[in-house]
Amino acid sequence: MSNQVVTRTVKATITNHSQVRDDLDSHGFAASKLWNVGRWTIGRVWDAIGHIPDADELTSYLKSHDRYGDLHSQSSQRVLQELGEAFVSWYEQDDPDANPPGYRKRGDQHPRSTVTWKDQGFKLDTEYNRVRLSKGANQKTSRYAPDYILCEFIPQTERTLEDVQSVQTVCAVWTGEEWELHFSCNVKIDVSEENGENTAGIDLGVCNTAAVSIGDETLLYPGNALKEDAHYFRHQEYDTEGENGPSQHGEWARQKKARRQAHFLHALSKDIVEQCAERDVETIAVGHPKNIREDADWGRHGNKRLHDWAFEMLISHIEYKAEERGINVERVDEAALKTSKTCCRCGSEADSNRVERGLYICDTCELVVNADCNAAENMRATVTPSQQGRTTTPLPDRSNGCLAQPSVRLFNKQTGRVALQEQVRP
């Protein structure tokens, strides 16, 4: 394993907003004014000598300007850097019709630009979720007023700032209604140098939203929550639709459905990645079942568009959550590999190999297994080093989770979590 550092943004809601709003407003306004001073300066130099000054030149022109002192020096520097970058990307576009970067929000009485604080400009307290943001020298109204803005916050994601490597910058961003904080963090992740033996394959489908093969174990994630919701809410949406389009109730149902589906996909991907991490999986193979399974029984509630969307969301959630845990995710072309048509034990692929009521039946080796587990195991083989390149040759002592009873992990609507279904003992 080696370490790799990736950058992540953690958004946070400011909990003492009313206390810091005025200070943030005046800093956001100052950033807009400095941008405009910089923009005006570029225009003048450009007209005079036909050269567009870059961010460094701009900074040396404006370092002693009054507006530069309205923000912490590093924050001011960042505004001019952004302006310089905006000009570079404008002329690199090489489009005669494109306008150069303009002045900031001239129509707005009080434009609130994003303000960025870099290393010297902020002090973070991860224990109490507080951050001190240095004020510009000109903003210190009296000698007794603190020279910083103390923001208390709660992160909007599951990630807390305690488990990140280091915070590079803090931005105060105006959302149109309030200020929020964006922490740009370095996160250390473990990346395997070579493919480990621990691999997982994920098969996505309509009946089981996901089947995950992890070597000698298979996990099944039934899609009941997604399907029942789709069915229930479709009634709510359409039964109440009137002449003037969707009623309020229909709109409510649509939004509620979208939120529940989003939550289901989050909970599902979280559990899948956690289960893989617990078993030291280093590589996951997953495919989008878009083009195969044309033959699949979409059934009464098998809404194809819903599932296309849901699969894509699910895969990207898995990719994101796996990366944080240092697990590689490889997208595999299912259709080319015929993961659903191939026997995961003997590797034979024949049209006569049948899928019946969710079972895969191999005519060659007489394997009878859950069809989704079979596909997941084939998917896993594509990223398992000892199995790569396997087409039809079976491997002698392949540990094969397909043969074991899969564990069923169910989404619980009450708790909103995915958990192992209680085993029913005979």
Most distant CA atoms of the chain, gap in Å: 89
Rounded (to 5) percent helix, strand, coil in the chain: 40, 25, 35
Using CB under 5 A, which of the segments 62-70, 155-163, 255-263, 336-344 binds Zn ion?
A: 336-344
When asked if residue 346 is in the footprint of Zn ion (CB under 5 A), the reply is yes
- 148 or 360: whose CB is closer to Zn ion? 360
- 137 or 350: whose CB is closer to Zn ion? 350
| Alpha helices (H) in 95-153, listed in sequence order | none
CA distance 34 to 336: 56
Q: Are the C-beta atoms of 285 and 201 separated by less than 8 Å?
A: yes
Provide the minimum distance between the beta carbon of 360 and Zn ion in the complex, in angstroms, as a whole number: 9
Contact with Zn ion (CB under 5 A): which of 151, 362, 381, 418? Answer: 362
Provide the minimum distance between the beta carbon of 218 and Zn ion in the complex, in angstroms, as a whole number: 17
Q: Are the C-beta atoms of 177 and 32 separated by less than 8 Å?
A: no
When asked if residue 343 is in the footprint of Zn ion (CB under 5 A), the reply is yes
Please list every residue from 364 through 383 that binds Zn ion, using CB under 5 A: 364-365, 367
Please list every residue from 169 through 188 that binds Zn ion, using CB under 5 A: none
Provide the minimum distance between the beta carbon of 297 and Zn ion in the complex, in angstroms, as a whole number: 23
Q: How many CA atoms lie within 13 A of 226 on its CB side?
A: 29
Residue 388: which H helix or E strand, with range? none
Provide the minimum distance between the beta carbon of 185 and Zn ion in the complex, in angstroms, as a whole number: 48
| Amino acid code (one letter) for 379 | M
Q: What do you get for the CA distance between the two ends of the chain, in Å?
A: 44
- 111 or 347: whose CB is closer to Zn ion? 347
- 136 or 401: whose CB is closer to Zn ion? 401
Provide the minimum distance between the beta carbon of 330 and Zn ion in the complex, in angstroms, as a whole number: 25
- 1 or 365: whose CB is closer to Zn ion? 365
When asked if residue 355 is in the footprint of Zn ion (CB under 5 A), the reply is no
- 177 or 397: whose CB is closer to Zn ion? 397
Provide the minimum distance between the beta carbon of 1 and Zn ion in the complex, in angstroms, as a whole number: 35
- 374 or 384: whose CB is closer to Zn ion? 374
Using CB under 5 A, which of the segments 64-72, 89-97, 216-224, 358-366 binds Zn ion?
A: 358-366
Using CB under 5 A, which of the segments 130-138, 171-179, 246-254, 342-350 binds Zn ion?
A: 342-350
Find all residues with CB under 8 Å of 55, minimum gap 6, and list them.
Answer: 80, 81, 83, 84, 85
Length of the chain equals: 426
Q: Are the C-beta atoms of 409 and 270 separated by less than 8 Å?
A: no
User: How many positions of this chain bind Zn ion (CB under 5 A)?
Assistant: 7
Sign of CA dihedral 245, 248, 253, 255: positive
- 150 or 346: whose CB is closer to Zn ion? 346
When asked if residue 359 is in the footprint of Zn ion (CB under 5 A), the reply is no
- 25 or 349: whose CB is closer to Zn ion? 349
Provide the minimum distance between the beta carbon of 396 and Zn ion in the complex, in angstroms, as a whole number: 14
- 244 or 352: whose CB is closer to Zn ion? 352
CA distance 34 to 41: 10
Place of tokens 């129509």: 107
Name the burial class of residue 311, with classes exposed (0-12), middle (13-18) and buried (19+) by CB atoms within 10 angstroms of its CB: buried
Number of Cβ atoms within 10 Å of the Cβ of 181: 23
Provide the minimum distance between the beta carbon of 354 and Zn ion in the complex, in angstroms, as a whole number: 12
Provide the minimum distance between the beta carbon of 316 and Zn ion in the complex, in angstroms, as a whole number: 33
The DSSP-derived string for 271-297 is: HHHHHHHHTT--EEEE--TTSS-TTS-
Q: Are the C-beta atoms of 33 and 22 separated by less than 8 Å?
A: no
| Amino acid code (one letter) for 182 | H
Please list every residue from 16 through 55 that binds Zn ion, using CB under 5 A: none
Angle at 259 between CA 253 and CA 260, to 5 degrees: 85
When asked if residue 418 is in the footprint of Zn ion (CB under 5 A), the reply is no
Provide the minimum distance between the beta carbon of 225 and Zn ion in the complex, in angstroms, as a whole number: 33
Under the rule (CB under 5 A), what is the footprint of Zn ion? 343, 345-346, 362, 364-365, 367
